[in-house]
Structure 1
Amino acid sequence: MLRGLDIRDMLIIDRLELDFQPGLNVLTGETGAGKSILLDSLGFVLGWRGRADLVREGAEQGEVTAIFELPEGHPAHRVLEEAGLPVGDELLLRRINSRDGRKTAWINDRRASGQVLRSLSETLVELHGQHDDRGLLNPRGHRAILDEFAGVSGLKAELREAWRARSGAEKKLDAARAALAAAAKEEEYLRHSVEELDKLDPQPGEEADLDSRRRLMQGAERLREDVSRAHQALGNEGAEGPMCDAMRWLEKASEALEGHLDAPIAALSRALAELDEAADGVVRCLEALDFDPLELEATEERLFAIRALARKHDVAPDALAELASDLRGRLEAIDGGAGEIARLEAALREADEVYAGLAARLSETRRAAAARLDSAVEAELAPLKMERARFVTEVSPAEPGPEGRDEVSFTVATNPGAPSGPLAKIASGGELSRFLLALKVCLAGDDSQVTMIFDEIDRGVGGATADAVGRRLARLAEGGQVLVVTHSPQVAARASHHWQVAKRVEGEATLSTVLALSPEARVDELARMISGDAITEEARAAARKLIDAG
């Protein structure tokens, strides 16, 4: 609910503070007094796109502040949370328009964009009038209006979830078909590659092991020649033979030399033992260096085969096993693709059936609600002197989507037998106002959280019709807040709170003022609206009668 509006230096308003109340708030005044400026200023602080020249002549900038009361669960809370702005039971909007056209906005004392203001405004205010293209005259919103009247929020939530499930199933099927088609193009390549890789069966780290073994065997051939020469040098034909001869000779001579050769014989014995140990080690080494030449050939053949396959697929040798697994998976996808696609097609059919069932229920509910709405609107049109007019809510097929398979439009025919058409094109100014009011009265329900503004919606009507308009506006204001700009005394008489917009001249400047009217002043304002500039006692009596009738 709009609680306060503070306007500074906007057009012909220098400073104005208004405290609005629940119920029906009426603004009246002579033409040109500034009533439309109040709406322009409110639209400015709400981020609406409007006239650019709003700053008062001689001022550097214009400023508008609006204060809204937000009950618990108000839709504005969600907008504030998504924008990262403070949330509370009061909303403070402030916007400045500088002389050079720059606009700056604050929401709860935080800088904010015009887009956030406009998103908030959709939860705070509804503007209705003869040029209302934001509300009931906009065909794009008719389906949502009918759905609100029908009370199908739960069913629509189910339908949106079913649409998401159906869309997800369709995307999975499309992706599977595309993957299968792409894989099928390379099936021959995949089968040959997998067969080749499986036959070789390379393992991670195998290439390095083979290379190391190959180098060892290649080196062993050269080393064995040197070790064999050493073995010969140590053997009977080498060092061992002469040393054994020397041992025999010394042992034979030692008998005659009475111990002089004992030490050399002992040393030579030790040397022979060491020599024998060395020769034994050399023999073991030769055995270790002994290999089958065919093994080297087989090792080289496998090593070169792994490296060639790695070059062919442009991967590292150690990645061949992973490549084989990947190619095998793609091949399995082709082999099992038909079955997977059949499963996904069945899932899509099931999702389609769920969606179609919910969409059909919603369509049926919408058509039933459309009939009830048409009857309710036509019942409201009779007191508004439009009993011959017809209001028809058309529900027609549309492309399936998250909101169902229906297109909704409000059409009217102002006279029996006349062709029906869109509200804005068929009805005249006064007729359009009454259609809008009748429709809004029928749709009223959860709008207590929204401030409704009617800008001269009673134009072109008077007498009993204007009285019927006033009664319906008062009914709309019950439990909520309605602001009405009017020239009709019958409408103004229904007000819970009445403001008079007037002009005053200070020097060479014309300024606008707004006064909250006391009961006595209100009688005079209604009398002025009845009789014109000259307020007579008869006009005052008529004004009191209108007020008492309310």
Structure 2
Amino acid sequence: MLRALDIRDMLIIDRLELTFQPGLNALTGETGAGKSILLDSLGFVLGWRGRAELVRQGAAQGEVVAEFELPEDHPAHAILAEAGLPGGEELILRRVNTAEGRKTAWVNDRRCSGEVLRALSETLIELHGQHDDRGLLNPRGHRAMLDDYAGSADHLVSVRAAWTGMSRARKALAETEAALEAVRSEEEFLRHAVSELDQLDPQSGEDADLDARRRMMQGAERIRDDVARAFALLGNDGAEGAMVDAVRWLEGVSDNAGGQLEGPVAALGRAMIELGEAQDGVDACLQALDFNPSELEAAEERLFAIRALARKHDIAADDLGAFADTLRDRLNRLEAGDADLADKRAAVEAAQAAYDTAAAHLSAARKAAAGQLDAAVMAELAPLKMERAVFQTEITPADPGPEGIDAVAFTVATNPGAPSGPLNKIASGGELSRFLLALKVCLSGDDSARTMIFDEIDRGVGGATADAVGRRLASLAQGGQVLVVTHSPQVAARAAHHWRVQKHVTNGQTLSTVIPLAEPDRVDEIARMVAGDTITEEARAAARALLQA
């Protein structure tokens, strides 16, 4: 709810502070008094695009502050949280416009962008008037309005979920088709490469093992003779025989040496053990060096084949096995591709069927609600002296999307048999105002979160029709807040709160001000609206009658 509006140095307003109340608030005054300036100023602080030059002549800058009361569940809280702005029960918007045209905005004393202001305004204010392109006259919002009227929230959730599922299924199918197409283009290469790799079957670490064995076999002939000679010197004819003889001689005389030979004999025993280990090692080396020359040739051929294949695929030799697995997996996917593709296509068909079903249910709900809405609007038009007009909610096929398969537009025909068309194209000013009011009355649900503003929506009507307009505005204001800029005494009389907008000249400057009206002043203002500049007792009596009706 809009609680207060503070305007400084905007157009012909120097300083104006207004405090608004719940219910129906009427703003009246002579033409040109400045009623539209209030709306321009409110639109400015809400970030709406309007007049380019708003600063009062001679002032350095203009400023507007709007204060709103936010219930706990108000949708503005989510916008504030997303923008990282402070929230609470009170929302204060402030916007400054310098004489040079530079605009700056604050939300709860925190700088913000015009985009944030406009997002907040969608949850705070709902404007209706003959030149309104933001609300009921905007065809882009008609489908959402019909859905709200129909209570189609569950259907919309189902359609959006089905659309998401169908989009994902289609994406998965497209990716599978693209992947298979890419694999098919290299099928010949894959089959040849996998066959070549399978035939060679390279193992991790095999390159290093083959290289080491090759080097050993290449040097074997050169070192084998020396190793054999060394092995002979370690055997019975060499070191081993000499050590055995030495131990036998020493043990034969050890008893007569007074124990001095026990240590040397023990050391020789240990040496013979070490000598045996050396002989075993050298013998093993001799066995390894004893190879068939064809083994060297085979090792070199396999080593060169592995390295050639690694160069061919530009990878390390040790990675050939893993690379073969990768190619084999791609080939397997190709061979299993038809079955996978069939599964993906079946998934798309199932998702399409689910979407079609959900969209059909939503469309049926819309069509049923459209008939109910048309009847409700027609019932509202009769008291507004438009019983011959025809209102129709047109539902036509649209491209499928997350909101379903329907396009929705509110159309009117002002007379039976006349062609129907968009509200703002067919109806005249007065007719349009009444159409908008009737439609709003029928579409209004829980509008207490937003302040509704009707800008001269009663233009061109009077008498009983104006009274019907006033009654409907008062009905809309119950439990919420409605501001109406009006020239109709019947409408003003229905207001719970009344302000008069008037101009005055001070020091050669024309300024506009707004005065809250108590009951006696209100009688005079409504009497002025009835009779004109000259207020008669008959006009006052008529004003009192309107206020008491």
Common fold: TM-score over 0.5? yes
Alpha-carbon distance in structure 2 between the residues aligned to 1:15 and 1:496: 25
Amino acid at match of 1:45: V
Amino acid at match of 1:172: A
Task: Tell me whether 489-498 or 216-225 shows the greater mean CA deviation.
Answer: 216-225
Q: CA deviation at 1:123?
A: 0.9
Task: Tell me whether 82-91 or 169-178 shows the greater mean CA deviation.
Answer: 82-91
Amino acid at match of 1:21: Q
Task: Tell me whether 313-322 or 454-463 shows the greater mean CA deviation.
Answer: 313-322
How many pairs align? Answer: 528
Residue matched to 1:8: 8
Alpha-carbon distance in structure 2 between the residues aligned to 1:364 and 1:70: 36
Correspondence 1:172-187 to 2 at 5 A: 172-187=172-187
Q: Which runs of 5+ in 2 are unaligned?
A: 250-260
- Verify: 1:316 aligned to 2:316, yes or no: yes
Alpha-carbon distance in structure 2 between the residues aligned to 1:365 and 1:284: 92
Amino acid at match of 2:163: W
Q: CA deviation at 1:379?
A: 0.8
Q: Which runs of 5+ in 1 are unaligned?
A: 252-262
Change (3 A) 1:220 1:472: same
Amino acid at match of 2:55: V
Q: CA deviation at 1:34?
A: 1.0
Q: CA deviation at 1:229?
A: 5.0
Residue matched to 2:208: 208
The answer (yes or no) to whether the contact 2:56–2:62 under 8 Å persists in 1 is yes
Residue matched to 1:144: 144
Change (3 A) 1:218 1:25: same
Amino acid at match of 2:108: N
Task: Tell me whether 231-240 or 105-114 shows the greater mean CA deviation.
Answer: 231-240
Residue matched to 2:24: 24
1:369-396 residue CA offsets vs partner (Å, 9 max, x unmatched):
1111111111111111111000010011
Change (3 A) 1:382 1:294: same
Instruction: Report the identity percentage.
Output: 70
The answer (yes or no) to whether the contact 2:234–2:279 under 8 Å persists in 1 is no
Correspondence 1:63-78 to 2 at 5 A: 63-78=63-78
Task: Tell me whether 196-205 or 327-336 shows the greater mean CA deviation.
Answer: 196-205
Alpha-carbon distance in structure 2 between the residues aligned to 1:283 and 1:28: 120
Alpha-carbon distance in structure 1 between the residues aligned to 2:133 and 2:240: 119
Residue matched to 1:291: 291
Correspondence 1:146-545 to 2 at 5 A: 146-228=146-228, 230=230, 280=279, 283=283, 285-545=285-545
Alpha-carbon distance in structure 1 between the residues aligned to 2:153 and 2:284: 91
Residue matched to 1:255: none
Alpha-carbon distance in structure 2 between the residues aligned to 1:524 and 1:4: 25
* Aligned residues: CA RMSD: 2.6
Residue matched to 2:43: 43
Alpha-carbon distance in structure 2 between the residues aligned to 1:347 and 1:240: 84
Change (3 A) 1:230 1:337: same
Q: CA deviation at 1:184?
A: 1.0
Change (3 A) 1:418 1:216: same
Alpha-carbon distance in structure 1 between the residues aligned to 2:330 and 2:308: 23
Q: SS state of the match for residue 224, structure 1?
A: helix
Alpha-carbon distance in structure 2 between the residues aligned to 1:226 and 1:38: 113
Alpha-carbon distance in structure 2 between the residues aligned to 1:67 and 1:423: 33
Q: SS state of the match for residue 190, structure 2?
A: helix
Q: CA deviation at 1:295?
A: 2.6
Alpha-carbon distance in structure 1 between the residues aligned to 2:37 and 2:364: 45
Alpha-carbon distance in structure 1 between the residues aligned to 2:219 and 2:83: 75
1:26-49 residue CA offsets vs partner (Å, 9 max, x unmatched):
101111111111101110111111
Alpha-carbon distance in structure 2 between the residues aligned to 1:239 and 1:519: 137
Alpha-carbon distance in structure 1 between the residues aligned to 2:494 and 2:302: 101
Amino acid at match of 2:50: G
The answer (yes or no) to whether the contact 2:374–2:391 under 8 Å persists in 1 is yes
The answer (yes or no) to whether the contact 2:234–2:275 under 8 Å persists in 1 is no
Alpha-carbon distance in structure 2 between the residues aligned to 1:235 and 1:497: 126
Amino acid at match of 1:130: Q
Residue matched to 2:57: 57
Residue matched to 1:259: none
Q: CA deviation at 1:231?
A: 5.5
Q: TM-score, normalised by structure 2?
A: 0.91
Task: Tell me whether 228-237 or 367-376 shows the greater mean CA deviation.
Answer: 228-237
Change (3 A) 1:42 1:184: same
Residue matched to 2:127: 127
Alpha-carbon distance in structure 2 between the residues aligned to 1:21 and 1:238: 123
1:433-479 residue CA offsets vs partner (Å, 9 max, x unmatched):
11101100111112121111001111111111111111111111111
Alpha-carbon distance in structure 1 between the residues aligned to 2:236 and 2:292: 28
Alpha-carbon distance in structure 1 between the residues aligned to 2:446 and 2:193: 68
Alpha-carbon distance in structure 1 between the residues aligned to 2:319 and 2:84: 49
Q: TM-score, normalised by structure 1?
A: 0.91
Alpha-carbon distance in structure 2 between the residues aligned to 1:425 and 1:504: 38
Q: CA deviation at 1:238?
A: 9.8
Task: Tell me whether 201-210 or 363-372 shows the greater mean CA deviation.
Answer: 201-210
Alpha-carbon distance in structure 1 between the residues aligned to 2:323 and 2:175: 23
Q: SS state of the match for residue 304, structure 1?
A: helix
Q: SS state of the match for residue 495, structure 1?
A: coil
Q: SS state of the match for residue 449, structure 1?
A: coil
Q: SS state of the match for residue 54, structure 2?
A: coil
Residue matched to 2:79: 79
Change (3 A) 1:515 1:226: same
Alpha-carbon distance in structure 1 between the residues aligned to 2:154 and 2:283: 93
Task: Tell me whether 390-399 or 65-74 shows the greater mean CA deviation.
Answer: 65-74
Q: CA deviation at 1:277?
A: 5.3
Alpha-carbon distance in structure 2 between the residues aligned to 1:208 and 1:387: 98
The answer (yes or no) to whether the contact 2:429–2:460 under 8 Å persists in 1 is yes
1:276-311 residue CA offsets vs partner (Å, 9 max, x unmatched):
959956555433432333332222222211111111
Q: SS state of the match for residue 487, structure 1?
A: coil
Residue matched to 2:255: none
Q: SS state of the match for residue 448, structure 2?
A: helix
Amino acid at match of 2:481: Q
Change (3 A) 1:175 1:505: same
Q: SS state of the match for residue 440, structure 2?
A: helix
1:178-213 residue CA offsets vs partner (Å, 9 max, x unmatched):
111111111111111111112222222222222223
Alpha-carbon distance in structure 1 between the residues aligned to 2:304 and 2:490: 103
Amino acid at match of 2:346: A
Alpha-carbon distance in structure 2 between the residues aligned to 1:111 and 1:136: 32
